[in-house]
Structure 1
Amino acid sequence: MLEALGSLVAALWAALRPGTVLLGAIVFLLLADFLKRRRPKNYPPGPPRLPFIGNFFQLDFDKAHLSLQRFVTKYGNIFSMDFGTFPSVLITGLPLIKEALVHQDQNFANRPLMPIEIRIFNNKGLIMSNGHVWKEQRRFALTTLRNFGLGKKSLEERIQEEAAYLIQEIGEENGQPFNPHFTINNAVSNIICSITFGERFDYQDDQFQEMLRLFDEVMYLRTSVWCQLYNVFPRIMNFLPGPQQTLFSKWEKLKMFVANMIENHKRDWNPAEARDFIDAYLQEIEKHKGNAASCFHEENLIYNTLDLFFAGTETTSTTLRWGLLYMALYPEIQEKVQAEIDRVLGQSQKPSTAARESMPYTNAVIHEVLRMGNIVPLNVPREVAVDTTLAGYHLPKGTMVTTNLTALHRDPAEWATPDTFNPEHFLENGQFKKRESFLPFSIGKRMCLGEQLARTELFIFFTSLLQKFTFRPPENEKLSLKFRMSMTLSPVSHHLCAVPRA
């Protein structure tokens, strides 16, 4: 019987041509893909999808946030796209954003774990973790940051001291063209470093400069086409050379830098006294020793430290770089800021948060830099935790959700001159005016945990620099507002002249 069955199979196989087998396999895979990705009734509309890759090639990854806006025009304030096999929905407009991130925050609390996030983070750290791990790590981080000065006078004094170091460093350029990128990165990162590592790093520290460059390269690589393809074909891309492999190797170097800092802490660690975030976390690890289910362990400490470093460095330093660039491009606005600084602080008084209320124009300029700089144009993505209804549409569990901050911050119904740098957007009768449609730090339970620190840093650094320097374009370089797409939207590489003020 078995011999007869074997002969039948062999005869059928011999009768089939290779082309027929291949065609059959393709039809089977297409059918499987169709059945797997069938959308439920009442799912948001969107552009047609291709098998396996979805809408991957309908986006311009050099300006993804802008290429999405044409779909908003066509399909409305909520529409769907697929990135490979991952369903995604983009929501536009303040009412929908608030409904999702505030009123239904529990349903949108998760982060989507794409293949590349699983490879890099694996549900660790503060930014890309979910569930119990995220809640525990965020609660500990917030408490510890407060203990080490977040929102306190001591931290403000640290920022003032670092601003003085930054002024000295820029002053050594003697008004000649310089690239502000890593100098500003170093200054801003020193604030979070003083909290996490218990020390600041000199602007000539080669090891720390290398870490800053690694971070910059990792963030740029993460948004490259090759790394997006990794999310579509992870098993294939694991075996191919390319930027995705460079990303993984550079990420390991960053982890090693932090791991070495932790080892240095352990050598003279006093369990009874925490000097910084790392010490406090080591105490927490000791408390949970023996508990196999605990999420407090050294690997999570490494990821938390890197997350704090990213959140405490990249967004604020990029905003400051945009701010100085705008001042060089809009000298009349820079003059008004400096006139207010001279009137309120003079040349000798250090900028402080206490002075912010007396400086509405400077405060408005910083807010306009955040609006126009648009450094996180689609917010950090969320994932639907349970089947949910939003704006009458059904969103299944696992759907990735991005919020269209680009459209919100350029909405002509909200902003008088949406595409023009105009501090008057945040002024009313000469006084600073808060705007509900201004969400650079997001909203809801997963909003930026360092918002207060970022606002303090932005005001003190920006005001200190304009108190001492006038920023101008170099004579042989034409400045522009072109951007580089990365994990944040940053200015393309450029030079400025920082002319000391008399």
Structure 2
Amino acid sequence: MAEVRSGISENLRTLADLPCPQGLPGLGNFFQLAPAKLHLTLEEWAAKLGSPFRVQLGTIPMTVWTQAELFQTVMRERPNRYRRFAPIESVMAELGGNGLFSAEGAAWEPQRRLVMQALSISNIKSFYPTLAAITERLRARLQRASSEGRTVEMTDELKRYTVDVTSALAFGEDPHTLEQQHGVIQEHLALIPPALMRRVVALFPYWRYVKLPRDRRLDQAVVEIHKYVHKMIERARDRMQALPGGSPRNLLEAMLLARELPDSTVTDEQIVANVLTLLVAGEDTTANSIAWAVMYLAADTDLQFRMFEHSRGVLGQSTVCPSYDALKHLDLCEGVCNEALRLRPVAAIQTFEPLTDVCLGGVAVPAGTRMLFLTRPAMLDPQNFVHPESFNPDRWRHPHDPSDGAHELRAYLTFGAGPRVCPGRHLANVEMRLVMSMLTAHFKVAMAVDPASIKEVSAFTMVPSEMPVKLQARA
């Protein structure tokens, strides 16, 4: 069991005792940590140095960890003993997006309550007809591409889908980006995660003094995003005035009502920040998760046929899953996505820092020390998952028999853990089952490039460099 306590003991290792890759005088490992390859570099060093180890960003030490049990310990102790990197909060505040994801302290809890209520199982169940309709629009869009013989950039298509879903559920309006070709909000949202990655690991905030071309593009995108968000808020207020006195119908209305309560701690800035946060998070993580699953699906024709039979058996004559209750029968679809996320975790790095001096895993960690937790090594550890190198979606489908080998769910770190576990995990699972069943029921999928050419890119989340596919309609 992980040991965590305040104070420093003579028997503990210090940060200086931890192994560290050789770097440059004064700069440390800064030039070895290219933001786009950060998770790959750290995973390579973890394999050589063990866990934990230390890297240096100039004079700033960062500790890197891979043990699932220590990750679970830290997540259980949030938000009282640990927080996310402080730079994440400051950078998100600069972008006007310091919402639930990055908020800390007293600002976190009221936002969490509102978001958890909006993304609850009961709300998603009542929202299901809209979810199914948006999935049908995605099917029609893919059908057109198939009939025209066009290559589909799957990540882009899925981002349109997830933005439409998130906007309809959380904000009460559907932007219908699946019916548009250009000028959609995703084109601006796409600039935020990589910029966040670059700025969080920067030695100093250069962008406050000198604007590079990519910083000017980001500034322009943020202006457009905030225009979009403010117009959405104005329309929500108009709808509420037209129908006064009713219960809030979505997260945005709930936040606007909470803002008007006596002694409310919800501010206009928090409302804007949470709209932006949900747009970015709802678009990016789920879309890329499904895209990685599509890559594995395309590589295995036998699995595709199994998925076709499995999905068609549940869908029957419907073009998409006919009801919320029918989703529970699509366990193979979810198993494929779970297995893809085990091998290609979108949340490949989780960042924390302790609020007080702590002992973690026999190491004295002073308050404010930056801590990076790598999620993939634990999921590739044979002590946690039998034959971890194999893509085997069936490992997720049945109650686990210990004689089958290791299957340690606590080492599956995709959605986090503890009080700040991902609030959108149920919605993500619903979207995964809906999209994968629709896709395999209607299409054969083939990669349009060699899968070996698809690179993993750290853009705050871990995303594919591309995901072009060819779709052939099934008879």
Pick the TM interval, shorter chain.
0.7 to 0.9
What is the CA–CA distance in structure 2 between the aligned matches of 1:264 and 1:427, rounded to whole Å? Answer: 43
What is the CA–CA distance in structure 1 between the aligned matches of 2:411 and 2:125, rounded to whole Å? Answer: 30
Of residues 343-352 and 73-82 in structure 1, the stretch that sits farther from structure 2 once superposed is 343-352
Residue of 186, 189, 200 corresponding to 1:212: 186
SS of alignment partner, residue 489 of structure 1: strand
Structure 1 residue 174 corresponds to structure 2 residue 146: yes
What is the CA–CA distance in structure 1 between the aligned matches of 2:170 and 2:328, rounded to whole Å? Answer: 30
What is the CA–CA distance in structure 2 between the aligned matches of 1:422 and 1:394, rounded to whole Å? Answer: 39
- Counterpart of 1:444 in structure 2 is 418
- Counterpart of 1:7 in structure 2 is none
What is the CA–CA distance in structure 2 between the aligned matches of 1:204 and 1:166, rounded to whole Å? Answer: 7
Structural mapping, 1:417-432, within 5 Å: 417-427=387-397
* Per-residue deviation, 1:54: 3.8
Structure 1 residue 117 corresponds to structure 2 residue 91: yes
* Per-residue deviation, 1:178: 2.1
Structural mapping, 1:231-246, within 5 Å: 231-234=202-205, 238-246=209-217
Question: Residues 266 and 105 of structure 1: is their aligned pair in 2 closer, same or farther, counting only changes over 3 Å?
Answer: closer
Identity, % of aligned positions: 22
Structural mapping, 1:91-102, within 5 Å: 91-102=65-76
1:466 is aligned with what amino acid? T
CA contact (8 A) 1:90 1:403 kept: yes
What is the CA–CA distance in structure 2 between the aligned matches of 1:434 and 1:358, rounded to whole Å? Answer: 23
- Counterpart of 1:63 in structure 2 is 37
Question: Residues 333 and 107 of structure 1: is their aligned pair in 2 closer, same or farther, counting only changes over 3 Å?
Answer: same
CA contact (8 A) 1:142 1:449 kept: yes
1:383 is aligned with what amino acid? E
* Per-residue deviation, 1:223: 2.9
Q: Deviations over 1:254-283 (max 9, x none)?
A: 122101211233334325233432222121
CA contact (8 A) 1:201 1:208 kept: no
Structure 1 residue 315 corresponds to structure 2 residue 285: yes
Residue of 481, 484, 493 corresponding to 2:457: 484
* Per-residue deviation, 1:62: 2.9
What is the CA–CA distance in structure 1 between the aligned matches of 2:260 and 2:181, rounded to whole Å? Answer: 30
SS of alignment partner, residue 88 of structure 1: strand
Of residues 437-446 and 484-493 in structure 1, the stretch that sits farther from structure 2 once superposed is 484-493
CA contact (8 A) 2:89 2:103 kept: no
Structure 1 residue 363 corresponds to structure 2 residue 337: no
What is the CA–CA distance in structure 1 between the aligned matches of 2:470 and 2:97, rounded to whole Å? Answer: 44
Structural mapping, 1:71-150, within 5 Å: 71-102=45-76, 106-113=80-87, 117=91, 120=94, 124-146=98-120
CA contact (8 A) 1:353 1:460 kept: no
Quick check: which has more Rg, 1 or 2? 1
Question: Residues 237 and 109 of structure 1: is their aligned pair in 2 closer, same or farther, counting only changes over 3 Å?
Answer: closer
- Counterpart of 1:305 in structure 2 is 275
1:317 is aligned with what amino acid? A
Aligned length: 451
Structure 1 residue 254 corresponds to structure 2 residue 228: no
* Per-residue deviation, 1:184: 1.7
CA contact (8 A) 2:285 2:346 kept: yes
SS of alignment partner, residue 439 of structure 1: coil
- Counterpart of 2:296 in structure 1 is 326
Q: CA RMSD in A?
A: 3.0
2:133 is aligned with what amino acid? E
Compute the TM-score of the two structures, normalised by the length of structure 1: 0.81
- Counterpart of 1:398 in structure 2 is 368
CA contact (8 A) 1:376 1:488 kept: yes
Q: Deviations over 1:327-361 (max 9, x none)?
A: 22222211111122234443437425534554443
2:184 is aligned with what amino acid? E
Residue of 163, 186, 190 corresponding to 2:160: 186
User: Which residues of structure 2 form unaligned runs of 5+?
Assistant: 1-11
- Counterpart of 1:203 in structure 2 is 177
* Per-residue deviation, 1:410: 1.9
SS of alignment partner, residue 490 of structure 1: strand
CA contact (8 A) 1:327 1:471 kept: yes
What is the CA–CA distance in structure 2 between the aligned matches of 1:135 and 1:499, rounded to whole Å? Answer: 47
What is the CA–CA distance in structure 2 between the aligned matches of 1:207 and 1:126, rounded to whole Å? Answer: 31
Question: Residues 264 and 151 of structure 1: is their aligned pair in 2 closer, same or farther, counting only changes over 3 Å?
Answer: closer
CA contact (8 A) 2:415 2:421 kept: yes
Question: Residues 325 and 75 of structure 1: is their aligned pair in 2 closer, same or farther, counting only changes over 3 Å?
Answer: closer
2:35 is aligned with what amino acid? F
CA contact (8 A) 2:233 2:252 kept: yes
* Per-residue deviation, 1:363: 3.1
What is the CA–CA distance in structure 2 between the aligned matches of 1:82 and 1:122, rounded to whole Å? Answer: 29
CA contact (8 A) 1:120 1:248 kept: no
User: Which residues of structure 1 form unaligned runs of 5+?
Assistant: 1-39
What is the CA–CA distance in structure 2 between the aligned matches of 1:123 and 1:453, rounded to whole Å? Answer: 21
Superposed structure 1 runs of 4+ greater than 6 Å apart = 429-434
Structure 1 residue 500 corresponds to structure 2 residue 470: no
Compute the TM-score of the two structures, normalised by the length of structure 2: 0.85
Higher RCO (CA-CA < 8 Å; seq separation 6+): 2
